[in-house]
Amino acid sequence: MRYSLRQLQIFDAVARDLSYTRAAEALHLTQPAVYTQVRQLEDQVGHPLIERVGKRLFLTPAGEIVRKAAHEVLDDLARMDMELADLRGLAKGRLKLAVVSTAKYDMPGRIAGFLADHPGIDVALKVGNRQELIARFADNQDDLYVLGTPPEGMDAVAERFAENPLVVIAPPDHPLAGRQGISAAEVARHPFVMREVGSGTRARAERYFAEAGVTPEVRLEIGANEAIKTAVMAGLGLAVLSRGNAALELDHGYLVTLDVAGFPLLRHWHVAYPRGKRLSVAAEAFLLALRPKAA
């Protein structure tokens, strides 16, 4: 072999963020050392792997091929290390999870329970909106993905593991608070605070109102659930959120749920990964830990 595993590891880190600086920081190397290793790999492969256009870096067609191969080789080696550790009775390894932002309230407890049983496994958790996770899924950047709806139009394996009901929340002094059987048309006459476009929660809420033939006014668009709850408590509008996301505020009376026809909207959490992906021992163990919850 003309190139080393270290070169593949360095190139994979550069290709991941298309940045020599970030790769150097992640690998605890100097930027010149990273640059030199990539250039040596290019010489040995016989093709340019990275090109600069303006201030941005891009992978060449050869770079895409090498990156895919490097990613597979490094994943196989990580799997081998974990399987050998498992034979020795040492549950070791690294689990890369990517979850939609609405799942960040549910997943830490599940991760804590998992790590209590597998203390030798490190977990890297990436939180983003649905569009960000779909992009990461397409690029095979993580082991497992937790979403409200499985990736559409992609060859994915997905498992449902928990309920995720959506509710309409309001401040306790709202005119609709305490009312029963509120219609979609009536609640839509009040302004809403919505998640950003691309959020699965927003998409489900918009589908509900579209099916009812009404369109609520979106007074404010916010990309963070914590900020949405604060805005609702301040009287800026109603919101559709996962009940789990607002559990603390509901329990303390800072927010209330409205009795709107058709709510709660029953959704589920799904864990997904690309079909054909060879899961690591850590990923398989985490899947096993999730499955009893579905029962």
Q: pLDDT tens across 73-128, in order?
A: 887 787 777 677 665 544 667 889 999 888 888 888 899 989 888 888 889 999 98
The DSSP letter of residue 290 is H
pLDDT of residue 106: 83
CA distance 198 to 202: 8
Q: Is the confidence at residue 288, as pLDDT, over 80?
A: yes
CA distance 218 to 192: 5
| pTM of the predicted model as reported, rounded to 2 decimal places | 0.63
**Which strand (E) or helix (H) includes residue 137?**
helix 130-138
CA distance 173 to 143: 45
CB 154 within 8 A of CB 138: yes
pLDDT of residue 91: 60
pLDDT of residue 84: 73
Domain 91-163+268-295 fold is: D-Maltodextrin-Binding Protein; domain 2 (3.40.190)
> 247 in helix, strand or coil?
helix
In the chain, ranges of CATH 3.40.190.10 domains: 91-163+268-295, 166-266
What type of residue is 81?
D
Tens digits of per-residue pLDDT, 123-155?
999 998 888 899 999 888 899 999 988 888 888
Q: Which residues pair with 170 in a beta bridge?
A: 256
CB 89 within 8 A of CB 76: no
Average pLDDT estimate for 247-276? 93
Mean model confidence pLDDT for the chain: 88
Q: Is the confidence at residue 198, as pLDDT, over 80?
A: no
Cβ-based neighbours of 274, under 8 Å, separated by 6 or more: 137, 140, 154, 155, 156, 157
Higher pLDDT, 63 or 84: 63
Q: Which residues pair with 59 in a beta bridge?
A: 50
Tens digits of per-residue pLDDT, 235-244?
999 999 989 8
Q: Which CATH architecture has domain 166-266?
A: 3-Layer(aba) Sandwich (3.40)
Q: Which CATH architecture has domain 1-76?
A: Orthogonal Bundle (1.10)
In the chain, ranges of CATH 1.10.10.10 domains: 1-76
Cβ-based neighbours of 63, under 8 Å, separated by 6 or more: 15, 47, 48, 49, 50
pLDDT > 90: percent of the chain: 38
pLDDT of residue 292: 59
**Which strand (E) or helix (H) includes residue 288?**
helix 281-294
